[in-house]
Amino acid sequence: MTISEKSLDAEGLRARVADVLATHDPATTDRLEFLRARFDAGLAWVHFPVGLGGLDAPRELQAAVDAEFAAAGAPDNNPRRIGIGLGMAAPTILKFGGEELKQRLLRPLWTGEEVWCQLFSEPGAGSDLAALATRAVRDEGTGDWIVNGQKVWTSSAHTAQWAILVTRTDPDVPKHRGMTYFVLDMTQPGVEVRPLRQITGEAEFNEVFLTDARIPDAQRLGEVGAGWQVAQTTLMNERVAIGGNAQPREGGMAGKVAGTWRDRPELRTPELRDRLVKLWAEAEAFRLAGSRLRQQLAVGQPGPEGSGMKLAFATVAQELAALELEILGEDALRYDDWSMRRPELVDFTGREAGYRYLRSKGNSIEGGTSEVLRNIISERVLGLPAEPRTDKDVAWKDLPR
């Protein structure tokens, strides 16, 4: 049986995995060479098209493929390091990119050879992303776009080769209509990256200054003026990526605080215990809600519950982290290290309790503030009317700012 004849079910995919393993022994094959071979066999993301790392197979089969490779001791692409590329850039490029662009970008994105970052938020455009001011102007001579502006809250900008970028291309129309979406080469001279230090002391994020940065028109995703619609694809994938993973009981923050409680009997009081168990139960209820959501997806009946998972995750994590400091008492008066660092990976439950408390504050801001999520739930799930808007029919250049 040749590869192309193998069926697109779990059995057929297992046979394909076996082929890759047979021709590229993980024990002796160079990591990058192995990952490229896996991509070329269509086993990177099986639901992607043939030739772009996939097989047009059902997405549910991916987990089994990942498990087969892991069981064989194969290297993975360190997905946490390249989360923005995998979770946000790739689906957007796939949906809106030209054929040549997809061929050029998706393989090194998946193998991790090229790291991606997201240039969306600006100092003047946070929750109101559509207010963004970074200008892209067409150079009529070359057809390239010349970009000027400032972006902020950019993870991985200092290691990124590429960025997904939303710009203002027409200031004379209402804000949602005058944007255009690009992929930007971060290594060019017009791109300056500065660390943005945050309340934990470290700098996960960056500010990115764009000064006459140049983008060939072939790197535009979607039509000129359709950047908002393209960005929706990215943002939808971002919210799925945060707070949507399977967790064991006491996974995440609940396990950290429970561990402290078990290790430090001398700190226990009845009042702290009731609060701890209350939060434990809440964390457990939403862990089960996450399982329920995945069961709904598996039978093809996604419910509206997904909109709430990130909101619940943020609230519970913050309350648990805050409680842990109260449990710790005197130990909560100390912090492990305020020195400026640039972590490659971010672990919300890493380091010590003080860090976890401070880092959790970001959970209700990043990837959509809890307030914006409440608007989305109340309008899209519950069907309540929107607040009256004053910014929808006004040209972007005439908006107060």
Kindly list the catalytic residues.
238
What would the x/- binding string for another protein be over residues 328 to 367, using CB under 8 A? ----------------------------------------
Of 114, 153, 170, the residue nearest 366 (C-alpha): 153
Give the nearer residue to another protein in terms of CB position, either 189 or 385: 385
To the nearest whole angstrom, how small is the minimum distance from the Cβ of residue 178 to another protein?
27
Q: Pull the structure tokens for residue 326.
A: 């109260």
Q: Per rule CB under 8 A, is residue 280 in the interface with another protein? A: yes
Chain positions 216 to 275 lying near another protein, rule: CB under 8 A, are 249, 258, 261-262, 265, 268, 270, 273-274
To the nearest whole angstrom, how small is the minimum distance from the Cβ of residue 378 to another protein?
4
Phi and psi at 271, nearest 5°, equal -65, -45
Binding footprint of another protein, residue count (CB under 8 A): 44
To the nearest whole angstrom, how small is the minimum distance from the Cβ of residue 253 to another protein?
14
**Count of Cβ atoms closer than 10 Å to residue 197 Cβ:** 15
- DSSP 8-state assignment for residue 44: S
To the nearest whole angstrom, how small is the minimum distance from the Cβ of residue 278 to another protein?
6
Among 67, 281, 340, 345, binds another protein (CB under 8 A): 281
- Contact call for residues 36 and 107 (beta carbons, < 8 A): yes
Among 383, 390, 393, 401, binds another protein (CB under 8 A): 383
Q: Per rule CB under 8 A, is residue 277 in the interface with another protein? A: yes
Q: Per rule CB under 8 A, is residue 369 in the interface with another protein? A: no
Chain positions 108 to 137 lying near another protein, rule: CB under 8 A, are none
Whole-angstrom CA distances from 208 to 135, 159, 188, 375 are 14, 12, 13, 29
- Contact call for residues 341 and 202 (beta carbons, < 8 A): yes
Q: Per rule CB under 8 A, is residue 300 in the interface with another protein? A: no
Among 78, 150, 237, 296, binds another protein (CB under 8 A): 296
Q: Which stretch binds another protein (CB under 8 A): 54-62, 131-139, 191-199, 384-392?
A: 384-392
Among 295, 334, 338, 392, binds another protein (CB under 8 A): 295
DSSP states of 242-295: SS-S---TT-THHHHHHHHHHH-GGG--HHHHHHHHHHHHHHHHHHHHHHHHHH
Among 385, 393, 400, 401, binds another protein (CB under 8 A): 385
Among 344, 371, 392, 398, binds another protein (CB under 8 A): 371
Q: Per rule CB under 8 A, is residue 101 in the interface with another protein? A: no
Q: Pull the structure tokens for residue 45.
A: 């993301």
Give the nearer residue to another protein in terms of CB position, either 36 or 239: 239
Give the nearer residue to another protein in terms of CB position, either 231 or 311: 311
- Contact call for residues 275 and 37 (beta carbons, < 8 A): no
CA distance 148 to 333: 44
Q: Which stretch binds another protein (CB under 8 A): 42-50, 96-104, 353-361, 381-389?
A: 381-389
Whole-angstrom CA distances from 317 to 54, 196, 251 are 36, 23, 11
Q: Pull the structure tokens for residue 178.
A: 């005058």
Chain positions 305 to 324 lying near another protein, rule: CB under 8 A, are 305, 308, 311-312
What lies within 8 Å, CB to CB, of 364 at 6+ separation is: 311, 314, 315, 318, 370
Give the nearer residue to another protein in terms of CB position, either 99 or 387: 387
∠ at Cα 122 (119, 126), nearest 5°? 110
Q: Per rule CB under 8 A, is residue 377 in the interface with another protein? A: yes
**What is the three-class DSSP state of 104?**
helix
To the nearest whole angstrom, how small is the minimum distance from the Cβ of residue 286 to another protein?
5
What lies within 8 Å, CB to CB, of 283 at 6+ separation is: 250, 252, 253, 254, 316, 320
Q: Pull the structure tokens for residue 40.
A: 């070329």
Q: Per rule CB under 8 A, is residue 388 in the interface with another protein? A: yes
Binding stretches for another protein (CB under 8 A) = 249, 258, 261-262, 265, 268, 270, 273-274, 276-278, 280-282, 284-286, 288-289, 291-292, 295-296, 299, 305, 308, 311-312, 371, 373-375, 377-379, 381-388
